[in-house]
């Protein structure tokens, strides 16, 4: 299964070098600033950990110069720990899930030590396997309106991704535009404690103009670290998009969440389940 959350190394550079990042790193000198980024899941075949060095504000680092390749990286849980090795192709430290099993509901520990003696560590609790999402839909002219039932209380934080698969559509007179998810395809972050009484509703435009079409739903439960990181990163990106030379953003940037002790970054966890609904 593809990793739902792919770490952006470019974001790591922006976090370390941009004055607009909103990350509070004043207590760490530039020459000792290190970022560690990793999301783990029982569904992933490979565990990846990215380690980068920082620099003073205004410095520019390319990938090769920013990647730390000689660190000692390890991950552990109740069954013991394993060391990761550096993979030149992905510029990350990796280990196969056959050598180290990520365990649902268990706490996992990440440790990183650079050749210069800088030590970083963090922990996260992997969410339990989520229940299969409940999708209910109906035909609305040529559209398909559907809703996603709220998950059980055991799932606090989650995100949902939709995609159209097995689509067979032939453009014809009066039906030149095929099925479309539009903004529905984008990720949505939810906190189950802030949910409304009604289920969330979406619509697939022109779904019934297709000869064949199915809706793929990937429901992903998040640990608190992953949720806070994604939420605050979204806020930081929005702040940066709304800032410019002609129309400066008068709001103060908010810190991007970090749970890495001794540096910055995130060590989070998630667990996913997939469901396919045949529409036509």
The proportion of the chain whose per-residue pLDDT surpasses 70, expressed as a percent, equals 78
pLDDT of 23 > 50? The answer is no
Which of 86-90, 165-169, 255-259, 263-267 is predicted least confidently? 255-259
pLDDT reported for residue 71: 96
* Domain residue extents for the chain: 9-128+223-270, 135-221+274-278
Whole-model pTM: value is 0.82
SS (H, E, C) the chain: CCCCCCCCHHHHHHHHHCCCCCCCCCCCCHHHCEEEEEEECCCCCEEEEEEEECCCCCCCCCHHHHECCCCEEEEEECCEEEEEEEECCCCEEEEECCCCCCCCCCEEEEEEECCCCCEEEEEEECCCCCCCCCEEEEEECCEEEEEECCCCCCCCEEEEEEEEEEEECCCECCECCCCECHHHHCCEEEEHHHCCCCCEEEEEECHHHCCEEEEEEEEEEECHHHHHHHHHHHHHHHHHHCCCCCCCCCCCCCCCCCCCECCEEEEEEEEEEEEEEECC
Q: What's the pLDDT tens digit per position in 194-210?
A: 877 777 788 999 999 99
Q: Kindly state the tokens that stand for 40.
A: 């783990």
pLDDT of 148 > 80? The answer is yes
On average, the pLDDT of the chain sits at: 82
Q: How confident is the model at residue 31 (pLDDT cuts 50, 70, 90)?
A: confident
Q: What's the pLDDT tens digit per position in 149-179?
A: 888 888 999 998 899 999 999 888 777 788 9
d(CA 236, CA 254): 7
pLDDT reported for residue 1: 40
pLDDT reported for residue 17: 39
State CA 20 to chain mean position distance: 21
Residue scoring higher pLDDT (18 or 227) = 227
pLDDT reported for residue 269: 97
pLDDT of 246 > 80? The answer is no
Residue scoring higher pLDDT (241 or 161) = 161
The proportion of the chain whose per-residue pLDDT surpasses 90, expressed as a percent, equals 54
């Amino acid at each position: 299964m593809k990793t739902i959350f792919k770490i952006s190394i470019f974001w790591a550079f922006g976090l370390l070098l941009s004055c607009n990042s909103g990350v509070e790193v004043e207590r760490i000198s530039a020459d000792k600033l290190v970022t560690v980024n990793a999301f783990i899941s029982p569904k992933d075949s490979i565990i990846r950990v990215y380690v980068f060095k920082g620099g003073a504000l205004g410095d520019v680092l390319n990938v090769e110069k920013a990647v730390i390749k000689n660190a000692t990286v390890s991950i552990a849980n109740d069954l013991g720990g394993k060391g990761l090795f550096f993979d030149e192709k992905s510029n990350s430290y990796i280990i196969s899930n056959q050598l180290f099993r990520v365990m649902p509901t268990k706490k996992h520990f990440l440790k990183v030590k650079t050749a210069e003696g800088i030590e970083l560590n963090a922990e996260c609790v992997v969410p339990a396997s989520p229940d299969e999402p409940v999708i209910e839909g109906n035909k609305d002219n040529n559209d398909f309106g559907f809703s996603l039932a709220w998950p059980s209380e055991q799932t606090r934080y989650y995100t949902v991704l939709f995609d159209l698969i097995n689509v067979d559509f032939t453009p014809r007179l009066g039906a030149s535009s095929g099925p479309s998810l539009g903004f529905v395809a984008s990720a949505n972050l939810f906190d189950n404690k802030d949910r409304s009484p009604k289920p969330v509703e979406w619509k697939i435009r022109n779904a019934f103009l297709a000869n064949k079409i199915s809706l793929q739903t990937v429901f992903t439960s998040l640990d608190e670290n992953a949720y806070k990181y994604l939420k605050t990163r979204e806020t930081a990106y929005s702040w940066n998009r709304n800032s410019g030379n002609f129309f400066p953003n008068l709001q103060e940037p908010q810190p991007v969440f970090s749970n890495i002790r001794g540096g910055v970054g995130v060590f989070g966890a998630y667990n996913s389940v997939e469901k396919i609904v045949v529409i036509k």
